Amino acid sequence: MTTSYDTYIFDLDGTLLETLEDLTAAVNYALRHHGMPEHSLADVRRFVGNGVKMLMVRAVPDGESNPQFEAAFATFRTYYLEHSLDATHPYAGIPELLAELKSRGKHLAVVSNKFYAATQSLCRHFFPDTIQVAIGEHESEGIRKKPAPDTVVEALRQLGVGKENAVYIGDSDVDLQTALNAGLPCISVLWGFRDRDFLKENGATTFVAAPHEILTI
């Protein structure tokens, strides 16, 4: 079956990669290092979705008001950049999906609220032959993080295509809002960090339960 889109813009964490274990380890390393209480995997699952700084705002007691917040965030960043490949792996069926889309001549990109360096590193490691463009958080260059449309716009620019016949694929409410702000349809995946009920409450209308189902939309 021929897919109806020419360009596929993917979220990374919870969509292409299962990263929760490494994120939790990095959060807890930073918290432990600074004498703060640690969190469960389920806690961190709830905290993710708005970038790593917001992850730490939610994880640190009193968030940015905590006098140790910046130090804890710096510790998290250093540790995560060194350990982002410890347990992270693609979800089952993702490499095959990307390979099939590439074989059909589709344009493939990743946009993430993860550190720019980590986004680039993970995509190079796991998807070197399929993902053409990977955009992470780098507000210093004037590109706002999701749900602003900036990363999507930048990905399309680097791919050299317009938003016509492009689709956004993600696992969260932030992804739904990003797609809306960028003027793209959104496919919500059900294997990520948020469940169907939560996604429906936030406006999701198109769901896939397994990666290969994307080929039928």
What are the catalytic residues? 11
Long-range own/partner contacts, residues 154-157 (CB < 8 A, 24 or more apart): 154/111, 155/9, 155/109, 155/110, 155/111, 156/7, 156/9, 156/109
